Chain A
Amino acid sequence: MKTWWRKGLFLGALGLLFLTGCSEKYPLLDPQGPVARKEYHMLLLTTILTGIVIVPVVILLFVVAFRYRDRPNSKAAYKPDWHESKWLEIIWWGIPVIIILIIATVTVKETFALQYPPEKKEPITVEVTSLDWKWLFTYPEQGIATVNYMNIPTDRPVKFVLTSDAPINAFWIPSLGGMQYTMPGMAMRLWSQADEPGTYIGKGANFSGKHFAKMSFKVNAQSQEDFDKWVEEIKSTKPALTNEGYAELSKQSVVGESAYSSYPEDLYMNILMKNGGEYMPNHWMMMENQKTAQPTK
């Protein structure tokens, strides 16, 4: 039967996917932090729960079609008027209801859980601004800024506060988990955390114009000690980011990595306000414990 080729090919492809799935090439299947791990476990659970229904159903489809195919002298039963069975129908309204009920329960539980920091430790805050076509990271607690790369300490929740000084983008570090849009005039929050030191790739995930494809960045997770050393090094070796410097940086361009020993204190709030943040007070108030100045209009 020719039909089986296609099934074989499909199952083969799926198998290949999962066999090779655990190498480091698949960041989503190899989570490096508690947030990504939660999301990965959810992926496994839904794959299994939906798979146990859908795979047998598709097999059943081919078995039935083969068994009851039209051929001379077919011995299979033929009942052209049989078209109703209360119990059978109750069964197959029931099966998906049960499966969906389970998945829905877990979904709701995990969605609420992901609002909170992954661990009860003192978090570090990183403010993220997407620009055309680069990323600016400012560290309100350390007072430094980086472009297109960031360092974070391991084993400590990271609170990303996200906005945009350009069209909407999305901030995504596949290995560490979670994604959130960066919206002009709004400051949105994303919790993440890295377990192990390492370098992970981050992405701009929402189309934002011509050179959107160039918007990846590096995330270097390192121990708290190394992180502190890195902050000191930036502070002592790099230039300051001035308002004029920011104006230049925020023009449409593709640039490499860079770092700044300091940045204007109210830079982030100014970016928010400039983009209409005054109409969205709930959003920028999310940054409650930041030592930013009052908004300047």
Chain B
Amino acid sequence: MSSGTGAPAGGAHDETLVLGVPEIARALTRIAHEVLERNRGAADVVLLGIPTRGLPLARRLAARLAEVEPALDVDALLGSLDVTMYRDDLAHHPTRSIGATHLPPGGIDGKVVVLVDDVLYSGRTIRAALDAISDLGRPRGVQLAVLVDRGHRELPIRPDFVGKNLPTAAAERVRVLLDEIDGRDAVLIEGAVL
């Protein structure tokens, strides 16, 4: 979409840098403004990050929302949603460990939940997240913000806010690195033939 194409990574074998530090920052700032615009402020908005990398992204988005609207309280805005126990592919993988689900003190009833994840791919994680949300309460609406949409959807799910649309082949691997977890910010494509 509007964010610029990152400079190609110098020398790495089959690894291409798609978004660097400034691009990720700009994309998040834009998404934050889009969230505010779409919801006419953020009074009813709850950001739920999906572990692992959705969590720091949600936290950064919440900080940006609070920058624009200083009346907002980041803690009342931010939560995490673990979807492991709602996945449809548990029987096809080794046992996954379960992450934490924390809702902000006000809960999600009647709120607008913005799900935050790093990469949107098959859509199955978001399907699981929608099921998890319906067990936790009844939000007024659910929206989806992702840093990267790489296509190949297997379910009728679409994002509302996208950092970057990234056409990929199914054989390629998209890796999102975030400072809070990986020590640096980057979005990489591996196995890419560019």
Q: Tell whether A pairs with B.
A: no
